[in-house]
Structure 1
Amino acid sequence: MFLDLFIYLFNFFLGDSSSLRLETFLNSLWLESTPLGAIDDQIGVITTTALPQPFFEHPSFTNITAQLGTLVILHCKVNGLTDKTTVSWLRKRGTKLDLLSVGLEIYASDGRYSSAFRRPNDWQLHVTGATEHDEGHYECQVSSHPPIVHTVYLHVIAIPELEILDERGLPIKNKFYNSGSTIELKCVISKVPQPTQFIMWRHGTRILNYDTTRGGISVKTDILSDGAKSRLFIANANVHDSGNYTCSLAEVAATSVLVHVLNGETPAAMQHGGSPRSTRLGCLSAHLMLSWLVLHIR
């Protein structure tokens, strides 16, 4: 084995370009026998570890919709922040950027702005009492290298409209029902795209959506692209079901109707949603007309 190694080295070094081959051989032996850190120190190599870059949890652009006068919360969820990076909110108007906050510090002169942090990674900008002037672009910027930006477009819409209809689809402010019948009210909500707020029915101050004390109460709600429809059913109505019924969209808007449950009085009025007084007047008019015809026929 030693003889073979000697023959190999002899042929290797005494061949063509022997000096170059000898240098290559010695360098390879040195690299194999020297620790990597010592090699870096001797040849001046600086080894660095790449730091992880921050990134957003959501897409770089989002749209949100808020009602006029409500609290708006803009979210910026960032992962991978370090103690050397900050999160800022800015308002963009054309090519102009106005600084609103850095971290939890507010720099806007408008007192309706505030900032908050919700664990684990949500840097929020709050806007109290949204107005039409608040509509537009907002930027969440992270001071990494290079910086990253998340843009939010805020749409501010008018206060939604609410209207209560009867079982025939007619708008009402008063409704008469016969005792033992089923109260059916429909609340139509418009001018609010796919409302996320809770739609609530009340009888006086009592919430009916999950009422189990009376029995026979059901609420069915359909969310639509431009609003919502909610139906209230109360079976086997009695006089205790009379009173004010309110349909509300959270604390944003509400409308009411007055329901009367009667024990057999003026059934014609109850069937047509009228009042006892209007029915009596109708009967009196018919009686007078009949009397006039009798006199003239004679």
Structure 2
Amino acid sequence: MTHLRGSYAGLPGPNFVDHIENVTETAGSNAVLTCTVERLRGYKVAWVQVDTQTILTIHNSVITRNPRVGLSHEGQTVYRLHLKNVTENDRGYYMCQINTDPMISQLGYLQVVVPPDIENTGWTGDLVVREGTNVSLECRARGYPPPEVSWRKEGTTSQGTGGEGVMLHIGEVLTIGKVSRLHMGAYLCMASNGIPPTVSKRIQLKVQFPPMLWIPNQLEGARLGSTTVLECNTEAFPRSINYWTNHKGEMIAAGSKYDTMTKEDTYKTYMRLVIHNVTREDFNTYRCIAKNSLGETDGSIKLYGIPQEESTQGPPNKEEGEEAGGEDTDGGGTEDAPPPQDTENNYATDRRGGRQRGKVTQSKKNGIDMKLRIRELVQLCSVPKEFHILRPPIPISVETAHTYIWTKIFRNQNLVDGSNCPAWVT
């Protein structure tokens, strides 16, 4: 029988019934391309991989030696090309052709998508750096379509975001200039291309720095027999060794007299010293100390005595006060008041050494004492013009500072030199 340009003599030739549908499959799955024809008669159908010009099947037979290629058909109308466990190399055009003269054909496209994967070769891994340096975190991903890489920091949340943290950057490299302890933590590199699943890897960034500390209250007052608490906050990485010492420099151990407690949170540590049954010997300076391999630091807290509550009875009259010769009608004669016996520091006398003329009552004498004593101690302790004495810090005037010095500090301590001057918070 003679073939005349794709048809039998006097009869319509073969033709394609429908277009070949494009197929998208994930790498590792199976793909099927379908070619439907009509009036095939004695002609044959073949499948060809266009990119490599490889003939895969002819009519009912598989030609290629690729074991992943298969063929199925329904009579002489439907021819299906089967590709098992597809890879990215299988991506491209496939031709279904009929051996007419001239040849007629159709094309179908196989798209092979690949879920994202983070490459180990482009992975920074955990980092330990010194504070103040520049650091770059790298994360390279592959997949098809090419994935988008984004960075998030764990533990940072904002309204509308999940537990993975706030997005910091889009790109394979996250650069942090002059890294600080606030940057310390876990960073997530996330790769996504719309093909599930989204993948991520975790980088732990550790920032090293020497210890530093701050003290909520550098001056603490307590009454005899009471229990008082001293507090200190430190920051350090590597984590520091933290302890308390007394005014002799001796380490304080927990026991019936003292309770010590530390609470650690990442690079932060909260220190607490509890002193039970306060005595006069406890009115002194205590130090909290923090040490690590990069350095050490310490801070001091002054514990002073608070006068016992004054009697509810009224003060003696003027004559009784004069005859008593030493009762303080202003302060109630508390045991924490400065001793008036020291003639060298007795400021009831004139500054030139002579006694004041006239009769001086005890309350008036105490007022003169206070003013002169303040003047001397302000000069002795080099009190700054302005300083922060309250928490939260509030600047106060010099006059207020002088009053504070007398009523809160010097009145409750027998200061005769500058050795016990408090540390001013400027």
TM category, shorter:
0.3 to 0.5
TM-score computed with the length of structure 1 as normaliser: 0.39
Larger Rg, first or second structure (1 or 2):
2
